[in-house]
Every structure is written in structure tokens, then in C-alpha cells.
């Protein structure tokens, strides 16, 4: 089919990937892997369109979890100042600013192990307010009960973010205060409630090639592929256990994006944390590999992110634009 065709190729969507198959994709010559990923990407999406989201921390720090990468844990001395749940009016001001800067989805994150029911009520009010601005909504609040999940659904939530972070085998090296199954259970509740799933992971935490393959295997073999798949590069923060971890080869990160695109053809693959340390050239390779979503704004929860003006300049240089439609 011609490269400029707008008709989908409808590549086979699978949920039965094996680790060795995924490792074989990672091991392809770089140009072959990129060619395959770009073909899958073009069969499902406009290749020159990037969905733009904005992320706000609505409740910061004092989290009881021990995630080794996270400065919001109360267990670590990261110099982060805890902040209570934001007033709704302030959240809506931030959402309006994000919309004016070109974001189509507004994501709200709260540092909880699991929210209380009264917290959910306040978050639902935020969701309704953001949707009234004409934006898609996403929240990440930790583990959810079935009742809380239903409340978010009734409140109109579009996406729920709950990352697996890494492979099940490597998980205990990073987090001990909740299990891998805890995460899968919350994802199941969200999926069963009919809320779109935003689920990905973090690379560069000292994991092996097999761990990266198994993370993507877990995501691709879920009953339904996550609608959004954020791939984060570890941002090392002073005071957290993962500070000092050996940096990941940038081309391994690009390969991870490409393999995610092949395994989950119709999912939005998002460049998330870590873009501040990525060169423009590295990000361009990620877009070529099939990434088609980013977070706008100068901060992702508590860590730095490229300035909006810089992102707009990069978009212009690459000839891409923000948007959200797909062929499929």
C-alpha cells in the first residue's frame, strides 16, 4: 500500500505474546525494527499527529508507598514539600491554561496508596469541571475499590492511569508495599467499568532486557490493550533509592518504544517522564518508532519537563502537529 494511504492495514492484534518473540524484536537490526514499527504505526494513526496531554499534581507527597523511583514517598528524604489536595478552582485554572497551550487531555495525579471515598467525591467534582472545559480527563490515584471505580465512571472519567512500572520478576526490587497483583486488580476494575486504561512502565531502573520484554508482554497480553501506554525514562531524584542507577542507552529506550508500537498497534504510546534529558534527535527517533503522545508543560507531577515553547518548536521542525484522531 502506498505510504501516503489513509486506509488502515489492520495488523493482527494479539494477546498471546511470548517473551522470546519480544526479545527477538528487540534484537532486530535498528533499521529493520524502526521500519516494522513505522509500518504498524502508519496503518493505525496519522503519522504526523501527536496527542498532547498535560499533567498536574493535585495532591503532592506524604505517600506511604516505597516506590524506589518516587520522591513523593514519605520514606525518603527528597526535599519535596507535601501539599494537600488542591482546591477545585485552582485545578480548573490549570486545566484552562493547559487547554490554551494546546493540550486535549488533562491528567490529575494524587500521591495516595489508595484514596478515601471522600477524596473520590472531590476528584469527581474536578473531573466534571475539566470536562466542562471541553477536555478529556485522566486521573491517577493509586489502588481503587470497585465502588470508587464506579464513582469515577459515573463522574465521567475518560482515562485512569495505573502503571505496572516493570516486569513482575523485577517488581520487588523497586516496590514492596503493594504487589503486582494489586496493580492488575485495579486495572481489571477500571477496564470492567468501561473506563479507558492508561498503563505503561518505567525503564532505566536497572532492569534487564528480559524485564523490559516481560513488561511489554504483560501489557500486550492484558484482555484489552491499554488505550494509552506511557513509557517513562527513569528520572533520578536525590534521596530516592534509585539515585545513581546506571543510565540507560538512549537507543534501548527507542527500541522499547518501537516494540511497544508493534505489540499494541492501536494504543497511544506516550513519551512521559524523562523527556527533559532527551535530545531533540532522540525524541524524533521515538516519534519515528511509533510514539504519538506526549505530556506538555514544565513539570510532570514533581519532576522537570521540557517547556511548551520548546515542544512547539520541535513539532514545527519535524512537521508534526497536535491532534487526537486515528485512522482505525
Residue 286 is among the residues annotated as catalytic for this protein: no
Catalytic residue among 42, 105, 138, 268: 138
Q: What does the block give as the cell for 294?
A: 506526549
Candidates 189, 255, 261, 270; catalytic one:
270
Return d(Cα 106, Cα 149) in angstroms, integer. 19
Q: Which of 42, 63, 199, 255 is catalytic?
A: 63
Full 3-state SS string of the chain: CCCCCCCCCCCCCCCCCCHHHHHHHHCCCHHHHHHHHHHHHHHHECCCEEEEEEEEEEEECCECCCCCCCCCECCCCCCCCCECCCCHHHHHHHHHHHHHCCCCEEEEEECCCCCCHHHHHHHHHHHHHHHHCCCEEEEECCCCCHHHHHHHHHCCCCEEECCCECCHHHHCCCCCCCCHHHHHHHHHHHHHCCCEEECCEEECCCCCHHHHHHHHHHHHCCCCCCCEEEEEECCCCCCCCCCCCCCCCHHHHHHHHHHHHHHCCCCEEEECCCHHHCCHHHHHHHHHCCCCEEEECCEECCEECCCHHHHHHHHHHHCCEECCCECC
Give yes or no: 199 in active site.
Answer: no
Catalytic choice (42, 70, 178, 189): 70
Residue 198 annotated among the catalytic residues of the structure: yes
End-to-end Cα distance, the chain: 16
Please tell me which residue in 122, 198, 212, 261 is annotated as part of the active site: 198
Residue pointed to by grid coordinates 532522540: 282
Contacts of residue 275, Cβ cutoff 8 Å, sequence gap at least 6: 233, 283, 294, 295, 305, 306
The length of the chain is 328
Is residue 166 within 8 Å of residue 204, measured between CB atoms? no
From 42, 67, 191, 268, the catalytic residue: 67
Active site residues: 63, 67, 70, 107, 138, 198, 270
Amino acid at each position: 500500500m502506498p505510504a501516503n494511504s489513509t486506509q488502515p492495514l489492520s495488523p493482527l492484534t494479539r494477546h498471546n505474546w511470548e517473551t522470546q518473540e519480544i526479545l527477538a524484536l528487540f534484537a532486530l537490526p535498528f533499521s529493520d525494527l524502526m521500519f516494522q514499527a513505522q509500518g504498524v504505526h502508519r496503518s493505525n494513526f496519522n503519522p504526523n499527529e501527536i496527542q498532547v496531554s498535560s499533567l498536574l499534581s493535585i495532591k503532592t507527597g506524604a505517600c506511604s508507598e516505597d516506590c524506589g523511583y518516587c520522591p513523593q514517598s514519605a520514606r525518603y528524604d527528597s526535599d519535596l514539600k507535601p501539599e494537600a489536595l488542591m482546591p477545585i478552582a485552582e485545578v480548573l485554572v490549570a486545566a484552562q491554561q493547559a487547554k490554551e497551550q494546546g493540550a486535549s487531555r488533562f491528567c490529575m495525579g494524587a500521591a495516595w496508596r489508595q484514596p478515601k471515598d471522600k477524596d473520590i467525591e472531590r476528584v469527581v467534582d474536578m473531573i466534571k469541571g475539566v470536562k466542562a472545559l471541553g477536555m478529556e480527563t485522566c486521573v491517577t490515584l493509586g489502588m481503587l475499590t470497585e465502588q470508587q471505580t464506579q464513582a469515577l465512571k459515573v463522574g465521567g472519567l475518560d482515562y485512569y492511569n495505573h502503571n505496572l512500572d516493570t516486569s513482575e520478576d523485577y517488581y520487588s526490587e523497586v516496590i514492596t508495599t503493594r504487589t503486582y497483583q494489586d496493580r492488575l486488580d485495579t486495572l481489571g476494575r477500571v477496564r470492567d467499568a468501561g473506563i479507558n486504561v492508561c498503563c505503561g512502565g518505567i525503564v532505566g531502573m536497572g532492569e534487564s532486557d528480559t524485564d523490559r520484554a516481560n513488561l511489554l508482554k504483560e501489557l500486550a497480553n492484558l484482555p484489552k490493550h491499554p488505550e494509552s501506554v506511557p513509557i517513562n525514562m527513569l528520572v533520578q531524584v536525590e534521596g530516592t533509592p534509585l539515585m545513581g542507577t546506571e543510565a540507560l542507552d538512549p537507543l534501548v529506550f527507542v527500541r522499547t518504544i518501537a516494540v511497544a508500537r508493534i505489540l499494541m498497534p492501536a494504543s497511544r504510546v506516550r513519551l512521559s517522564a524523562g523527556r527533559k534529558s532527551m535530545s531533540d534527535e532522540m525524541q524524533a527517533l521515538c516519534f519515528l518508532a511509533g510514539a504519538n503522545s506526549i505530556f506538555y508543560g514544565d513539570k510532570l507531577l514533581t519532576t522537570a519537563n521540557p517547556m511548551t515553547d520548546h515542544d512547539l518548536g520541535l513539532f514545527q521542525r519535524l512537521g508534526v502537529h497536535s491532534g487526537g484522531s486515528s485512522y482505525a
